[in-house]
Amino acid sequence: MADALLALAELLAPRPEDGDEEGERGPRGAVGAASRTGPGAIGPPGRDALPETPARSGGEIWSAEEVPAEGCADLEAAWDPREQPEHEVLFRQRVGAEDVFLGVSGRDPSSACCEELLVRVRLPGARASDISLDVREKVLDLRSPQKRLFLHLPHPVDAKSGRACFLAEKGTLEVTLRIQRELDFINFA
């Protein structure tokens, strides 16, 4: 603490004129005020070296832990020339008579009480065999020859238990995904 205060005092102290003999040595014995003042003089002395980075093999820039799993597809989606299809995200909840008329379960119409997400994507002229769908916990990635949708989901979902249905007569893909929340076992028991 005392060294930091001395270093601050040295930085803030008035500088002697160039011809002044007394000002050539500072309180710590440094020669010349200009030689010790600068961005490197801030902080405790002896911190000139950068922290060591772990050695990488094969000329790699990043390790697998440093690259987010979902970030690569997001970057790829930014440069995809295909058009983004019309889509909507709807919240679903199972409601019974006791919820509507009596309000027994404590549920309300807000999205906090919903169990599922329904994503409707309009793909006119597409065939079910041409559509590629990849669902992860927070991302839905849909590809067809003419359209591409990379959608960040509003809530984490269970990617393994989702279901999709392509309605050819409407040209619409409906994807139903179960929302994952930490306290679902309390709210929806």
Q: What is the pLDDT of residues 111-157, one digit of tens each?
A: 777 889 999 999 998 999 999 999 999 999 999 999 999 999 999 99
Q: Which two tokens stand for residue 38?
A: 């600068």
The structural domains of the chain, with segments of one domain joined by +, span: 2-41, 66-187
User: In whole angstroms, how far apart are CA 38 and each of 7, 19, 25, 43, 44?
Assistant: 12, 21, 17, 11, 13
pLDDT at site 8: 83
Question: Please, what sign has the CA dihedral across residues 122, 124, 127, 131?
Answer: negative
The SS3 assignment for 109 reads coil
pLDDT, one tens digit for every residue, the chain (189 residues)? 788 888 888 878 766 654 555 444 445 544 455 555 677 667 666 655 556 666 666 677 777 666 665 545 555 556 778 899 999 999 988 777 777 777 667 677 777 778 899 999 999 989 999 999 999 999 999 999 999 999 999 999 998 999 999 999 999 999 999 998 776 555 555
Average pLDDT of the chain is 76
Residue of 110, 108, 109, 135 whose CA lies nearest to 121: 135
pLDDT at site 138: 92
Fold of the domain built from segment(s) 66-187 = Immunoglobulin-like (2.60.40)
pLDDT at site 46: 61
pLDDT at site 60: 75
pTM for the full model? Answer: 0.55
pLDDT at site 23: 46
User: In whole angstroms, how far apart are CA 118 and each of 79, 128, 165?
Assistant: 27, 18, 11
